[in-house]
């Protein structure tokens, strides 16, 4: 029940749902649990779920040659999915994998579409969630282009200090588009200045 309360708090940032309206939404939500390093979706599969992280961590990545390039790290209260595949029904170019044991509150595309048809409020909720995801992505892309690797590292650590302990360094370096050795050097400098 606590996970559904977390989902209700998340939803309330966008729209005010009555208990009855949230109950209608909760009926189509699925609680899904995954062990550490378990794939939710592989490259080439169709994404059928939109996932809210209730507890744990996950990453989204794709392969360039044999190298994994991390494009998202999602912690509690974040959404993660192969969004393009979820929205279009096309095979995913991404994989999504847990970093630690993770519990998701998930909803299928079919249930999202049915909710949109059932209520203008649900459609508004969907539009606002998509808008938020778009803004997060746009801010991140802007920072990746305008900030130096040192500035990206500092900004990320200021906003996500807990992830330094929870996420393997190679994933963080990839996500920040920093060479692993540069990441190690910056992390070492951070420790020296504490």
| pLDDT averages per 10-residue partition of the chain, 194 residues | 84 92 92 97 96 96 93 94 94 97 96 93 93 91 88 88 90 90 80 59
With tokens 């778009």, the residue in question is 134
Residue 31 in contact with residue 52, Cβ under 8 Å?
A: no
- Residue spans of the domains in the chain: they are 2-118
DSSP state of 104: E
Q: Which residues contact 37 (CB under 8 A, 6 or more apart)?
A: 97, 98, 99
pTM of the model: 0.90
**Confidence (pLDDT) at 158:** 87
**Confidence (pLDDT) at 179:** 87
Rounded Cα distance between 129 and 69, Å, is 25
Report helix, strand or coil for 191: helix
| Gap between the terminal Cα atoms of the chain | 40
Q: Residue 189: count other Cβ atoms within 10 Å of its Cβ.
A: 12
Residue 51 in contact with residue 102, Cβ under 8 Å?
A: no
With CA atoms as reference, report the closest residue to 156 among 58, 72, 92.
Answer: 72
With tokens 């200090």, the residue in question is 161
For residue 67, which phi and psi values (nearest 5 degrees)?
-85, 135
Tell me which fold the domain 2-118 belongs to. Answer: Jelly Rolls (2.60.120)
């Amino acid at each position: 029940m606590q996970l559904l309360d977390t989902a209700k708090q998340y939803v309330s940032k966008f729209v005010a749902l009555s208990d009855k309206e949230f109950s209608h939404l909760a009926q189509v939500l699925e609680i899904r649990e995954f062990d550490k390093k378990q794939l939710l979706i592989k490259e080439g599969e169709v994404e059928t779920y939109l996932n809210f992280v209730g507890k744990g961590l996950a990453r989204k990545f794709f392969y360039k040659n044999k190298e994994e390039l991390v494009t998202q790290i999602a912690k509690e209260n974040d959404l993660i999915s192969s969004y393009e595949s979820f929205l279009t029904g096309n095979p995913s170019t991404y994989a999504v994998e847990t970093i630690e044991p993770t519990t998701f509150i998930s909803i299928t595309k079919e249930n999202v579409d049915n909710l949109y048809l059932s209520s203008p409020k649900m459609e508004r909720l969907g539009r606002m969630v998509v808008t938020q995801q778009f803004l997060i992505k746009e801010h991140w892309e802007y920072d990746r282009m305008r900030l130096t690797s040192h500035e990206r590292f500092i900004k990320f650590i200021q906003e996500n200090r807990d992830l330094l302990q929870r996420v393997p360094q190679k994933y963080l370096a990839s996500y920040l588009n920093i060479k692993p050795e540069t990441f190690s050097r910056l992390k070492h400098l951070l420790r020296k200045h504490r």
